[in-house]
Amino acid sequence: MNIRITWLLTGLLAMSGGFKGTIAQDIVGSQPCQPRYWATSEYLMGWIQDGPNSVPLIARGSLSDPLPSALGQPGTEVLAGGNQVDYGLLHGGRVSVGKWMDPCQTFGLEATGFLMGKSSPASSFSSASSDASSLSVPIQLPNGTETSIFALVNAPGASLPDERLSVEHSSQLWGAEGNLIFNQRRTCTWNVDGLLGFKHLNLNEALDLNADIRRDVTGGRAVVLGEDHFGTRSEFYGSTVGVRGIRSGRRLQWTTSGAIGLGVNANEVNISGNRSQSSPSSPAATTPGFVFSEPTNIGTFQHRSFSVVPECKLGLSYWLRFRLALDVSYSALYWNNVVRPGDQIDRVVNPTQRGGGTLVGDARPQPLFHRTDLWFHAVGFGVTYRF
């Protein structure tokens, strides 16, 4: 009888201890019997490095100045351009899925993708025919003279124009990667994994300068519409190597990871523009180019270069249940040799080719292919489910 009671107590104690240990180990995920699949979904709040835009795009000038709206004139005020572009807070999401390929969780696969919403900051300016000032685009002539240029219609009896000029910027970033996971060390509280994989990043940006100029002339209304478009795209393709460390407690889990990508940037710059003019004395006509886009630089230009993309991520998870956790994270990446639209504008313009004219003198503006660096960082809030 005593022997049976002893066996019963021993069994109960063993069951009690085993149950307690299993719950703790389930939370930290340190046992080979743990679920082998996981999925994470996050909402991202991100910030991308301000876009370069050193060229003045729109200026307001006094009509009493010798060259209204030209840089250096007393009454000239730059309204757009000449400073960096703030794209503001970006919203997006990130999804990760993974699987351990063996019960001991020594080798696994993981795929991650993120997409940030498109940011389109814009500014618009107008001047009426009753104003004592005019809007224009300040440029520099090939001989170094500062002046301003606009597609005003020269017609008898013309009044001062009603002008509307606008500048719109856009930026969108997304990426994806796949990694092989090699567990290097695992204890009850620590987990260290090596990462080896492939990464793709895609950055699409644009800068558009638009103008709508209308004024009364003899016999009716003259209208000039124009647009300059500078679009850029940078795509990174490369291999990555990194390490990830996980520190686990009863319900809290801290994750730190770092990786570096080495590969190729496929960069593309697209420049286009058009000018449409109509008046009572002449039929409507559309010609290529407007102000900073002209036949000398209109086209699509491509270039490939070596690129480096280091990235780090910090995360904190709180396990509500055995399979479900709430996550908060911070991630940052650096990307070099990207092209951005504000860097591609040549403000030296030869006006002889404007409106379909024949080029005389220097072939300006020229196509530029300036490259720069990019920073992006984001805060994420999400959930993880394992099964």
Q: Does residue 14 carry a pLDDT above 90?
A: no
* pLDDT at residue 16, as a whole number: 35
Token pair listed for 191:
């987990």
- Between CA 171 and CA 267 the distance in angstroms is 15
Q: Can you give the pLDDT at residue 126?
A: 86
Residue 128's pLDDT is 65
Q: Indicate the residue type of 287.
A: T
Q: How far apart are the C-alpha atoms of 30 and 144, rounded to whole Å?
A: 70
Positive or negative torsion for Cα 210, 136, 362, 339: negative
Lowest mean pLDDT: which of 8-17, 217-226, 254-263, 268-277?
Answer: 8-17
Closest C-alpha among 344, 373, 375, 357 to residue 295: 357
For residue 130, the model assigns a pLDDT of: 52
Q: Would you tell me how many other CB atoms lie within 10 Å of the CB of residue 176?
A: 15
Q: Is 5 helix (H, G, I), strand (E, B) or coil?
A: helix
Amino acid identity for residue 325 in this structure: A
Query: How many Cα atoms occupy the beta-carbon half-sphere of 253 within 13 Å?
Result: 27
Higher confidence at residue 351 or residue 264?
Answer: 264
Tokens of 173: 């970033």
**Which tens digit of pLDDT belongs to each residue from 304-317?**
999 999 999 999 99
What's the pLDDT band for 7 if we cut at 50, 70, 90? very low
Structural Rg of the chain based on CA atoms: 31
In this predicted model, what pLDDT tens digit does every residue of 321-371 receive, in sequence order? 989 999 999 999 999 999 999 999 999 999 899 888 899 999 999 999 999
3-state secondary structure of 327: strand
Place 68 in a pLDDT band, splitting at 50, 70 and 90: confident
pLDDT tens digit string along 125-179?
987 655 667 788 999 999 999 998 864 433 444 456 788 999 999 999 999 999 9
Over residues 19-52, the pLDDT tens digits come to 333 333 444 444 445 789 999 999 999 999 999 9
Report the chain's mean pLDDT, rounded to a whole number: 87
Q: With 70 as the cut, is the pLDDT of residue 255 above it? A: yes
Share of the chain above pLDDT 70, in %: 87
- Cα–Cα–Cα angle for 337, 342, 345, nearest 5°? 105
What's the distance, CA 61 to chain centroid? 33
Supply the DSSP string of 75-100, one letter for each residue.
T-EEEEESS-B----EEEEEEEEEEE
User: How sure is the predictor about 117, in pLDDT bands with cuts at 50, 70 and 90?
Assistant: very high
- pTM of the shown model: 0.86
Q: Report whether pLDDT(224) > 70.
A: yes
